[in-house]
Amino acid sequence: MAEQIEFDQAHQALQEVTEALENGRFVHVRRQLQDMEPEDIAHLLEASPRKSREVLWQLTDPEDYGEILDELNEDVKDSLVSKMAPEALAEATEGMDTDDVAYVLRSLPDDVSREVLSQMDSADRLRVETALSYPEDTAG
């Protein structure tokens, strides 16, 4: 029963956000996103069509990017990070688990990964470079 209520609430939120986006009410959408938990924003992004997803991502508070990226499925995560500037991606990964950061960087072109790494502080960069040195799909 609780799962159905959560599903209904998520479906209603998706409808409200989609309608607001279609009507160009971006300030309203930004406010709605600010009131949502990162996990809920991730679900909203996953349920949204690609074009809407990209707009929603731009309207999301960048301080929440890391937590949201942690919650996203791989396909959606890959599509969003591929469009992020290296500086923004480095900031977004600050609170993420090292293995998750390594996964994100592996999905990017080498030159972009190097740029993101160069934007990180030295301790984070060392941890991520160590994780990247292990073969993919192994515990590091």
Of 73, 98, 117, the one marking the end of a domain is 73
Q: Which two tokens stand for residue 80?
A: 């969003």
Count of domains observed in the chain: 2
69 plus 1 within the same structural domain:
yes
Give me the sign of the Cα torsion angle 85, 88, 94, 97. negative
* Domain shared by 131 and 90, yes or no: yes
Over residues 68-97, mean pLDDT = 91
For residue 135, give the DSSP letter.
P
The residue out of 73, 107, 124 marking a domain boundary is: 73
Q: Could you tell me if 28 and 7 lie in one domain?
A: yes
* Least reliable range by pLDDT among 40-44, 58-62, 92-96, 111-115: 92-96
| Structural domain boundaries, residue 129 | 84-140
Contact 42, 71 (CB under 8 A): yes
> Domain check: are 12 and 51 in the same one?
yes
- For residue 27, the model assigns a pLDDT of 95
User: How far from the centroid of its chain's Cα atoms is residue 51's Cα?
Assistant: 15
The pLDDT confidence band at residue 9, using thresholds 50, 70 and 90, is confident
Same domain flag for 108 and 128: yes
Residue 14 lies in a domain: yes
| Assigned domain for 135 exists | yes
